[in-house]
Chain A
Amino acid sequence: DVKVTQSSRYLVKRTGEKVFLECVQDMDHENMFWYRQDPGLGLRLIYFSYDVKMKEKGDIPEGYSVSREKKERFSLILESTSTNQTSMYLCASSPRGVLVEAFFGQGTRLTVV
C-alpha cells in the first residue's frame, strides 16, 4: 500500500513562530503536493514539486515556502505563523505518467494562537 506520512497530527503554535510540516512518501513518487483545507473553501493547492529541488507555486502560496531535498520528503515551511494559517494541512503524492492517482497523508491540524 502507498503510504504518505505527515510528521504531526496536531500542532499548536503562537503567532510569529516558524513551523515545519514534514511529509514522507514510500512509493518513489515524483510528484508531491501541499494543500490546505478550510470549511467553506475546500482544498486549495499551496505548493507542489515534480522532482527533487523543484518547486512551483499553487493557488495560495503567500506566507509559505517549501523544500524538497530528497525525493521521498516534501516540507512545508511557515516562516512566521499568523492566525489565518490555522487550518488542516494535507500532503499528497502521485506518480508521473498515465495513471496519476493521488494519495494523501492523514493531515496536520495546525492551530495558531
Chain B
Amino acid sequence: GDSVTQMQGQVTLSEDDFLFINCTYSTTWYPTLFWYVQYPGEGPQLLLKVTTANNKGISRGFEATYDKRTTSFHLQKASVQESDSAVYYCVLGTGTGGYKVVFGSGTRLLVSP
C-alpha cells in the first residue's frame, strides 16, 4: 500500500542554520506530495504542495523538490528562525478523486535563538 517514511523524529538547530528534512514515499500511482506544518496547540496547516507536473514547491522560504527516481520529497530552508519551531509532516496523496492522503510520522524541529 501507499506509505510515507520520515526517519528523523526530531531536528535541533540554531537560528540561521540550514534545514533539511528527509522524506521518502512509496506508491504505485502518480503522487501528489505535501508538507504540512503543525504549531503547538493547533491543527496541521498546508505549507506547500508539489505535483508530478511542477516537481517543486516554494512557500515562506521553504522549498521541496520531488524526485521520482529516488521517490524522495525532502524539505529544506536556507536559514531557519526560532518561529519555525514546529512539527513538519510529509503527506502523500495518490489515486484519483483527491480525497485521501497518508501522513508521515512527523519531524519535530526545535530552533534555538
Partners in one complex: no
